[in-house]
Amino acid sequence: MKIGIKTNLKRDINALASKLFCQKLREVGIEYKICDNAKEYFESQVIAEEKEVFEWCDIVVAFGGDGTMLNIVHSLPCELPILGINMGKIGFLTEIDENQIADAISALQSGNYTVEQRSMLKATVDKQHFFALNEVVVSRQDPCHISVFDVYIDGILADTLRSDGVLVSTPTGSTAYSLSCNGPVLSPTVKALIVNGICPHSLHSCPIVVDDNMRINISTKTDIMRVIVDGTIVAKSQNDGIDITIEKDKKQALFVRLNNQNFYAKLRAKLNYWGD
């Protein structure tokens, strides 16, 4: 087994957690390489460029929070399992906390883990393709103004929304932005997508859950729009309005899950979190 390590130094201060992890990997004889953003903290022989690390390893271990996990998913040249070690606050996409490092290495050695497949989205705008693990958002460039969006499911008009925007979420993203918009929480194994209006100006608007093999089209004829993929603005309409197609992509994200972990236990622990 070969381990590739990416650490977020804003979370893993002075790379202390990843250093401990590497020490324990050496003790049990597991090979590893570390992405070069942390080169000042490690010996040069284990440092490589991120692309080289990801092409070399069998499993990626990420030190950080959900943002770190999303960045890695978007950076991977191929489908690789990712084990997330939480160095942030909530860390819903990560699997363990830093005090469980020894247990994680033991599980990897013994094969006492599973690889969970997570659906991803492909958004097409003006023949450009963008990919998301959590969600795709279409909203007006000027905030706090309502626009009118037509939402089509497999070519059939499903709803016309007067709202700040429209959000299409995967089951993974159901615990992210979609949850803040009163969307339902979906188990990662559910084959569905959530279509949700953002701050709808309506007394009856509610999220729509559709089969993940369905194609979703969102169009509006007024206002300059922007497309946001997993929190990053990726496109803006040059003229008034936008027409975007969103569908499940062939590519999947793969997460390492330790066999003693449980989605619903994590749901209670993470989403009942109250802190600074």
Spatial distance between the Cα atoms of 260 and 245, rounded to a whole number of angstroms: 39
Q: Strand 81-86 vs strand 242-258: parallel, antiparallel, or unpaired? A: parallel
AA letter at 201: H
Which residue, 8, 52, 1, is CA-closest to 31? Answer: 1
- Of the candidates 12, 66, 164, 230, the residue annotated as catalytic is 66
Adjacent-strand bridge partners of 237? none
97 is catalytic: no
At 203, list the tokens.
């007394």
Spatial distance between the Cα atoms of 139 and 93, rounded to a whole number of angstroms: 25
Spatial distance between the Cα atoms of 137 and 194, rounded to a whole number of angstroms: 12
Spatial distance between the Cα atoms of 274 and 254, rounded to a whole number of angstroms: 29
Indicate the angle between helix axes 101-110 and 16-28, nearest 10 degrees: 40
Spatial distance between the Cα atoms of 18 and 158, rounded to a whole number of angstroms: 48
What would you report as the CA-atom Rg of the chain, rounded to the nearest whole angstrom? Answer: 20
AA letter at 2: K
Question: Which residues are tagged catalytic?
Answer: 66
